[in-house]
Structure 1
Amino acid sequence: MILYNVTINIDRSVHDQWMQWMQTKHINDVLATGKFTSARMVKVLVDEDEGVTYSIQYVTDSKDKLERYYLEDAPRLRQEGLALFADKMLAFRTELQVISEHFAESVMQ
């Protein structure tokens, strides 16, 4: 399993507009490419004066699908964000490979 992690710092002046766009359009558009099986959006818990930072993690089952996303879809989808939020948004991307997952055992009473 591969996680495509996009970390974004968004300026407070456009935060609410950006959040609406992310949750109702952009994440759905990325998932609609068919290259990812799920996505999660989390807030990075740091105190910042000028912006708020989020991590959006898209799950795919292969590096090949991620590479196809970069070639076939990413330029168009990134351009929309740049057109809407320009210099109010700073993003960086990380690829992560899941090695193993561990879960707490349920406590039976």
Structure 2
Amino acid sequence: MRGSTTKEYKVLTREQVLYTVRATVAPEIEADWVEWMQTRHIPDVLKEPGFLRAWLLRVTSPTREEWAEFVMVYQLENQAALDAYMASPARARLIQEVADRYGDRAPSTRLFLQAVATIEAEGHPGE
């Protein structure tokens, strides 16, 4: 990942799942948080079994807070890989690293998603 700007289209299969983390980041740590996510945290998560790729996205819809919002989307091979990660010591360690570094200046929530269908626009084929 490391700040890649390569345009790439990947299809989400029905077996694969998405693990999302939404973080609200205080203005005074935003630049450091983004850099650390790109160069340390997300690459460390992607080393775990079953992880395929990740996206770091900035929320652009209006919010009531002055803090920036980001969503990290991790694509995994299947539900079993996500279940194994959720029960792993690595997950606890990775979450603790974020808490130790940023405390309450970057609270987050998690959401788990499974594909029901992929519908493509005409003229934009998948892989």
TM above 0.5, yes or no, is yes
- TM-score (norm: length of structure 1): 0.91
Report sequence identity in percent. 28
Distance in 2 separating the partners of 1:90 and 1:76: 16
- Structure 1's consecutive aligned runs of 4 or more residues displaced over 2 angstroms after TM superposition are 46-50
Runs (5+) with no aligned partner, structure 1 = none
- Kindly report which structure 2 residues correspond to 1:1-109, keeping only aligned pairs within 5 A, or say none: 1-48=16-63, 49-72=65-88, 73-106=90-123
Measure the CA separation in 1 of the matches of 2:93 and 2:51.
16
**Aligned mates of 1:47, 1:95 — CA distance in 2:** 23
Q: CA deviation at 1:50?
A: 2.6
Alignment partners' CA distance in 2, 1:30 and 1:85: 17
Structure with a larger share of its residues in helix: 1
Unaligned runs of 5+ residues in structure 2 are 1-15
CA shift, 1:98, in A, is 0.7
RMSD, aligned α-carbons:
1.4
TM-score calculated relative to the size of structure 2: 0.79
Larger strand proportion, structure 1 or 2? 1
CA–CA separation in structure 2 for the residues paired with 1:8 and 1:52: 8
Number of aligned pairs? 107
